[in-house]
């Protein structure tokens, strides 16, 4: 299990050679790896502010925020107003994951609401109207880091032309739209393929069905950012769970 213990990393200027303010660059200059990103979708919706603050107190590195529009995926969740509200309650960087049909329409609203990282899906229908290269440029021009995500059925070759442009690649290890699904083991092959093609300054994130067991397998395959929802927010000992997911086993 020692192979998945966290690594201490020095700061770096980011893959585009530009200095990014520390409060918006945890992906580019991580204090350690792996990073743990609790998914607020699994939190108590009646207490989201408190839940976000508790995740921060318990040692989370990021707050993963799933945006669903009821079209690209069958569920409907959050928008820029919630991102703004969370920004008032926690200092954690919001890892905004746009599972939406037209991500190009929401780049500016989310960044203005306080998001410093946006990930869009390569499968989004709206990308027929705008190039993903242009979308990444728009995100970067507005001062945020950019990620691209792949659904379980999408081969990694679909984003090969974007790998030198994005800061983060997000592999879905469940079908997007609902929390609490079981981890898809075949996603690990995709993680391994991508890790061999990304630079050490680029993050490789995995989202879906992450438990202590699947976290170990994902880290072994090359992931260095773990999104975990139910595993953290439904745990009785959240701080210890985050510690174990990171690979730091209590002695």
81 is catalytic: no
From 66, 69, 167, 224, the catalytic residue: 66
Sequence-distant (6+) residues with CB within 8 A of 196 are 222
Secondary structure of residue 80 in the 3-state scheme: helix
| Cα-based angle 81, 85, 90 (whole degrees, multiple of 5) | 145
The tokens of 223 are what?
A: 């992931």
d(C-alpha 11, C-alpha 107), whole Å: 27
d(C-alpha 164, C-alpha 197), whole Å: 9
d(C-alpha 246, C-alpha 22), whole Å: 22
CA 95, distance to chain mean position in Å, is 5
d(C-alpha 109, C-alpha 113), whole Å: 6
End-to-end CA distance of the chain: 13
66 is catalytic: yes
Sequence-distant (6+) residues with CB within 8 A of 56 are 63, 90, 91, 92
d(C-alpha 128, C-alpha 124), whole Å: 8
d(C-alpha 124, C-alpha 159), whole Å: 13
From 61, 95, 167, 207, the catalytic residue: 207
d(C-alpha 238, C-alpha 222), whole Å: 24
Name the residues annotated as catalytic: 66, 207
């Amino acid at each position: 299990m020692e192979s998945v213990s966290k690594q201490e990393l020095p700061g770096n200027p980011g893959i585009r050679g530009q200095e990014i303010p520390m409060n918006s660059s945890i992906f580019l200059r991580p204090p350690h790896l792996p990073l743990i990103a609790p998914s607020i979708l699994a939190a108590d919706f009646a207490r989201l502010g408190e839940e976000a603050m508790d995740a921060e107190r318990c040692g989370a590195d990021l707050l993963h925020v799933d945006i669903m529009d009821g079209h690209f995926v069958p569920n409907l969740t959050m928008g820029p107003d919630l991102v703004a509200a969370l920004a008032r309650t926690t200092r954690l960087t919001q890892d905004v994951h746009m599972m939406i049909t037209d991500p190009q329409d929401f780049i500016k609203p989310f960044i203005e609401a306080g998001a410093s990282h946006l990930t869009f899906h390569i499968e989004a229908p709206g990308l027929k109207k705008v190039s993903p290269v242009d979308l990444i440029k728009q995100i970067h021009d507005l001062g945020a880091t950019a990620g691209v995500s792949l659904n379980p059925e999408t081969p990694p070759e679909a984003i090969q032309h974007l790998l030198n442009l994005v800061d983060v690649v997000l592999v879905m290890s469940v079908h997007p739209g609902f929390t609490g699904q079981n981890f898809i083991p075949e996603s690990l092959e995709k993680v391994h393929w991508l890790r061999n093609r990304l630079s050490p300054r680029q993050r490789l994130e995995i989202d879906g069905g992450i438990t202590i067991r699947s976290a170990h397998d994902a880290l072994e395959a090359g992931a260095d950012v773990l999104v975990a929802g139910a595993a953290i927010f439904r745990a009785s000992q959240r701080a210890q769970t985050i510690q174990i997911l990171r690979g730091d086993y209590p002695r």
